[in-house]
Chains A and B, each alone.
Chain A
Amino acid sequence: MKNANFDELIHAPNRLMICAILAPVSEMEFALLKEQLVVSDSVLSKHLKALSDANYLDLKKVTQNGRQRTWLSLSKVGTDAYKAHVRALQSILGA
């Protein structure tokens, strides 16, 4: 059976939502993520920083059409931690 590990950092609702929405995609832009989560810039930035500090998140700043865009994606460490956390939640439910 694959490793299940409850992760306190990921479990916070906003961070869990960030991981869940980033997991199935390659990359998502900050603005779209903010729109999907319906949170303010500052709240999102705070949670992104927490994930980034734990090496769960890759941030890439690029300038496109004269505008800076921040692309976000789950790192390998982040993806593994998120999957292990989901398995831990499922094991709590006995799924």
Chain B
Amino acid sequence: MNGSNTQVNSQEAKLALQLIEQQKMKASGVARMPIWLNVIFSVLVTWLVYFELINRVLILSDVFELIFVLAIFSILGLWSKHLEAKGLKVKWFPNKKITYFAFTLGVFLGMFGDEIGMYIYVELSPWGGYMAPLMTMILLVYFGHRFPLSEAIYENVLNEKR
């Protein structure tokens, strides 16, 4: 650290950090999907993750799995195009802890989602079969809404009195 920061007091540093959080909120606000699209997207992802489990009731053809994949990528692609038209290009894989966490969770659910769902279905039947997909969907909606740019907003910084 050079000597300049000795001239900056803690109040000024706090104001600067508040300013930063406000800008992060603005960028997140632009990138955030409308809630209805976020819900549709999360339902599709949940449906794909727990396809075998949900299919016990709906008995769909396997081709629907491919349709869900296409629908998910179409939503992401169209939303990306929409943002680009507005003047924003997002980072698809930002170098953040939350991105790696989401990626690892996604791979884990992709590999074991059906097994986890079936286990819960068998052990906690009849409601257990609904709980795992429902919880997954709620978490997807929450994280999609809260961290659209994989950026945590430090509300404690924002809320501190000036």
Choose one: B10, B13, B92, B151; the contact of A24 (CB below 8 Å).
Answer: B151
B75 in contact (CB, < 8 A): no
A80 in contact (CB, < 8 A): no
Report whether A25 and B31 are in contact in the complex, using a CB–CB cutoff of 8 Å.
yes
What is the number of residues of chain A that contact chain B, defined by CB distance less than 8 Å? 32
Q: Which residues of A contact B9 (CB under 8 A)?
A: 92
Given A11-B8, A92-B13, A25 and B20 contact (CB-CB distance below 8 Å): no
Q: Which residues of A contact B26 (CB under 8 A)?
A: 21, 36
Given A16-B19, A24-B27, A91 and B89 contact (CB-CB distance below 8 Å): no
Choose one: A5, A31, A92; the contact of B8 (CB below 8 Å).
Answer: A92
Q: Which of A18-63 contact B (CB under 8 A)?
A: 20-21, 23-33, 36
> With the chains together, A48 CA to B151 CA distance in Å?
23
Point out residues on A near B: beta carbons under 8 Å: 4-6, 8, 11, 13, 16-17, 20-21, 23-33, 36, 69, 71, 86, 88-94
